[in-house]
Chain A
Amino acid sequence: SQQGEEDPQALSIQEGENATMNCSYKTSINNLQWYRQNSGRGLVHLILIRSNEREKHSGRLRVTLDTSKKSSSLLITASRAADTASYFCATDARQAGTALIFGKGTTLSVSS
């Protein structure tokens, strides 16, 4: 399976702290995408990192990808209460319309 698996499963931090979530997968990928999901809501795309990229930034988000270790990390800096959500990595080995495969997610709670 090329499934992404996040760790930790749950993370509780204070506002202003950084949050790091990790994702591991098993097979070769084209890219890896991180999504956010507020409770009971849809999946919001955060960032896509291609297999030939090692690091990518978007605002307070920093994603790294280590294809040799088949792992990725999502760092949220200076967290806010509004960052409270579940975060999923999804591995993408699509060729002819095959699927994104999601991990189980990390539930992040940021308290003020």
Chain B
Amino acid sequence: EPEVTQTPSHQVTQMGQEVILRCVPISNHLYFYWYRQILGQKVEFLVSFYNNEISEKSEIFDDQFSVERPDGSNFTLKIRSTKLEDSAMYFCASSPTASISTIYFGEGSWLTVV
């Protein structure tokens, strides 16, 4: 079964460093998402992306964050200057349509900021 893949599975970074999390969505999907989950807390929406632009973003997704689809397969989340509170599991997801369809999630990338 097709799946969303994410790399790295775990990254440790120094505060203030830039981090890029990578995702390969399911190939025929058109809508892409990033969510995050701080340890022990709920899954929070960050951003959705369609047709090479951001469709929606949450209050969490401030100027430190950016997303990009640099080629036909990858979808990346960049955090420019990481903070301790950015430590979380980051999930990439994709769906074939905008509504009435399952959103498929990757296994996540654990980011630890020290």
Binding site for B on A (CB under 8 A): 30-31, 33, 35, 40-45, 48, 50, 88, 90, 92, 94-105
Provide 27 A-B residue pairs closer than 8 Å at the C-beta atoms, listed in order of the A residue: A30-B100, A31-B99, A31-B100, A41-B108, A43-B43, A44-B105, A45-B102, A45-B103, A45-B105, A48-B102, A88-B42, A90-B103, A94-B98, A94-B99, A95-B99, A96-B55, A97-B48, A97-B56, A97-B98, A98-B48, A98-B55, A99-B48, A99-B56, A102-B35, A102-B42, A104-B41, A105-B42
Which of B45, B91, B98 makes the CB contact (< 8 A) with A101?
B45
Q: Are A88 and B100 in contact (CB under 8 A)?
A: no
Q: CA separation between A35 and B42, bound complex, in Å?
A: 12
Tell whether B44 is near chain A: CB-to-CB under 8 Å.
yes
- Choose from B45, B55, B100 the contact partner of A50 (Cβ within 8 Å): B100
How far is A12 from B38 in the complex, measured between Cα atoms in Å?
Answer: 24
Q: Which of B60-114 contact A (CB under 8 A)?
A: 89, 91, 93, 98-108, 110
- Bound: A40/B89 CA distance, A: 8
CA distance A97 to B53 in the complex (A): 11
Between B31, B45, B102, B104, the greatest number of chain A beta carbons within 10 A of the residue's beta carbon is seen for B102
Alpha-carbon distance between A52 and B86 when the two chains are bound, in angstroms? 39
Query: Which residues does chain A contribute within 8 Å of B33, judged by CB atoms?
Result: 99-100
Instruction: Specify which chain B residues have a CB less than 8 angstroms from the CB of A40 in the assembled complex.
Output: 89, 110
Nearest CB of chain B from residue A95's CB, rounded to whole Å: 6
CB-nearest residue of chain A relative to B42? A104
**Which residue of chain B is the closest to A101 with respect to CB atoms?**
B45
Q: Which residues of A contact B89 (CB under 8 A)?
A: 40
